[in-house]
Chains A and B, each alone.
Chain A
Amino acid sequence: MQPILSIKNLSKTYASGLSALAEVDLDIARGEIFALLGPNGAGKSTLINIICGIVTPSTGTVTVDGHDIQRDYRAARAMIGLVPQELTTDAFETVRKTVSFSRGLFGLPKNPDHIERVLRDLSLWEKRDSRMMQLSGGMKRRVLIAKALAHEPRVLFLDEPTAGVDVELRQDMWRLVRRLREQGVTVILTTHYIEEAEEMADRVGVIRRGRIILVEEKAELMRKLGRKQLTLHLQTQLSELPESLAERGLELTGGGRELVYTYDSQGERTGITRLLNDLASSGIAFSDLQTRQSSLEDIFVDLVRERA
């Protein structure tokens, strides 16, 4: 199936001469949830802002459901909803008016029922007649999401939707994203909270210094790059590893009271049995053990570091 969003050879050099994006190629499948990860200044917002028409690209093309974002901007933009990173609102407007305004901008006739549904979904209905300046930051964030959903977009961009947001709102947001996915809406989000990508995304892209360095199914990524660690809590303190156990990828930590064994979770032979046998024959006893699978966060940190 044709991707809903297709980015080809996209580059952006700002007037200051700063190159924020370089030769980005990316396809987003219809209905998927795509998480774009990257450190501060990597170019995430630049990429989103180009697609949405706020920043002009230097080279390259973007099509949304086959519509070029420059030549056929009306059709392309009509499909897109954007929740920007910055909280910018019209202080004096009421919640309901500002959300209806967004719908009007997208050329749609008034639809109070739809607006009410969106406001209720985001727990904003009680606040419908409050002015924006009377709302808390989290509430304003909800209003920005409501504005982006006012015209029933098919593709939703969430640029760091959960920055500075409490746990409850974050979970509301996740619920909302899942519901949107059920309706077939494609969601592209950027985040610094990797747990968010881990929780929600189907695919993950990592961007660094304006280049996409990796795009992978989340499950595949975690399988491929994920490592497992076995930690053994020793009964007696060790000053150093016995010779028989050296060169095993073993690490002595916790003041000589912990042995950490890192292994590849994909491997057929993890080497655990052999390790435990060797420990027994060396007379090393342990009181407890635990295993831990590396999170997407660990993978991400590794990736960004590796290619530094």
Chain B
Amino acid sequence: MAMNWPAVRAIYVFEMSRFLRTATQSILAPVISTSLYFVVFGAAIGSRMTMVDGVPYGLFIVPGLMMLSLLTQSITNASFGIYFPRFAGTIYEILSAPVSPVEVVLGFVGAAASKSILIGLIILATAALFVPLRIDHPVWMLAFLFLTAVTFSLFGFVIGLWADGFEKLQLVPLLIITPLTFLGGSFYAIEMLPPFWYTVSLLNPVVYLISGFRWAFFGQADVAIGVSLAMTLLFLTLCLAAVTYIFRTGYRLKS
């Protein structure tokens, strides 16, 4: 049978309206935090460290800043989006509707990814107020933005299905994503690290995301762009596999 598009749309619109209800907060928070990063990193540190790889430091941190928000927002939005109906019991309606897993994922993950892409663009616009922007490969920039948002929204969706309490929802972004992003070269090029830490950093998947994203901006990166792309797609595939497995087995959705 054909796709149930009205259902995808209903879920998507429902999720987006939750976001828009708190629009001021949703938009203001990234604007303020970006501005703070610029004040602290851009002005305070940037004044001592003027150039990284031939890019002014203030500009250099823009891709990392966007990535940091993109990852945390995608995970938080998507995990909360599916966890909350499970917690409140309203999930019954989705389970009893003629909706396939693909449609559920499209609705929830689509909305979460849209939100974080929007926030990424808001951060970019905010950054433009502080530094003159330079984007060498705008299409690739948008492609990485999109791929990362989708991948980590899927990851968040999996967390939202796995979590059995609000603490667990916070746990992954807080304990894993934020450190990985900070240590993944958001604010420095990993080549600046001593050889040992450089090698350790290569185990950090976020390094590849940030590196690819930075390449889209400045045409240079910590690792080859092909590797970045491959790693992003690999992670996307892993998340898709996890979601498929969950729906196949009804894990934590049905008793």
A residues apposed to B, CB below 8 Å: 14-15, 52-56, 73-78, 80, 82, 84, 86, 88-90, 92-93, 97, 100-109, 147
Contacts and interface: CB of A to CB of B under 8 A. Distances in A.
Contacts of A80: 96
A84 B95 CA distance: 12
B230 to A, nearest CB: 37
B96 A82 contact: yes
Interface stretch (B8-16, B155-163, B214-222, B239-247): B8-16
B94 interface: yes
Interface string B88-105: 111011111111100000
B228 to A, nearest CB: 38
B90 A88 contact: yes
A105 B92 contact: no
A78 B92 CA distance: 15
A86 B254 CA distance: 16
A90 to B, nearest CB: 6
B54 interface: no
A105 B254 contact: no
Contact of B89 (A78, A86, A106): A86
B6 A109 contact: yes
Given A52-B96, A82-B92, A105-B10, 8 more contacts: A52-B95, A54-B92, A56-B250, A56-B255, A84-B89, A101-B10, A106-B98, A107-B98
Interface in B166-224: none
B98 A102 contact: no
B254 A102 contact: no
Nearest to B5: A107
Interface residues of B, number: 28
Given A55-B254, A105-B7, A90 B96 contact: no
A76 B1 CA distance: 13
Q: B-side binding surface: helix, strand, loop or mixed? A: helix
Interface of B: 1, 4-7, 9-11, 13-14, 17-18, 21, 88-90, 92-100, 250, 254-255
A147 B254 contact: no
A14 B255 contact: yes
Nearest to B254: A56
Given A53-B96, A56-B254, A108 B89 contact: no
A162 to B, nearest CB: 19
A69 to B, nearest CB: 10
Contact of B4 (A54, A103, A107): A107
22 contacts: A15-B255, A52-B95, A52-B96, A54-B92, A54-B96, A75-B98, A76-B98, A77-B98, A80-B96, A88-B89, A92-B18, A100-B10, A101-B14, A103-B10, A104-B9, A104-B13, A105-B94, A106-B6, A106-B97, A107-B5, A108-B6, A147-B93
Contacts of A101: 10, 14
A70 to B, nearest CB: 11
Given A88-B89, A102-B93, A74 B4 contact: yes
A48 to B, nearest CB: 10
Contacts of A93: 14
A104 B7 contact: yes
A93 to B, nearest CB: 8
A138 B231 CA distance: 53
B97 A105 contact: yes
Contacts of A103: 10
A104 B6 contact: yes
Contact of A107 (B6, B13, B14, B250): B6
Contacts of A100: 10
Contact of B92 (A15, A84, A109): A84
Contacts of B92: 54, 82, 84, 88
Given A53-B96, A105-B97, A88 B88 contact: yes
Contacts of B21: 92
B202 to A, nearest CB: 41
Contacts of B4: 74, 107
A159 to B, nearest CB: 10
| Most interface-central of A54, A78, A109 (chain B CB within 10 A) | A54
A100 B14 CA distance: 11
Given A90-B88, A104-B6, A106-B7, A53 B95 contact: yes
A105 B99 contact: yes
Nearest to A79: B98
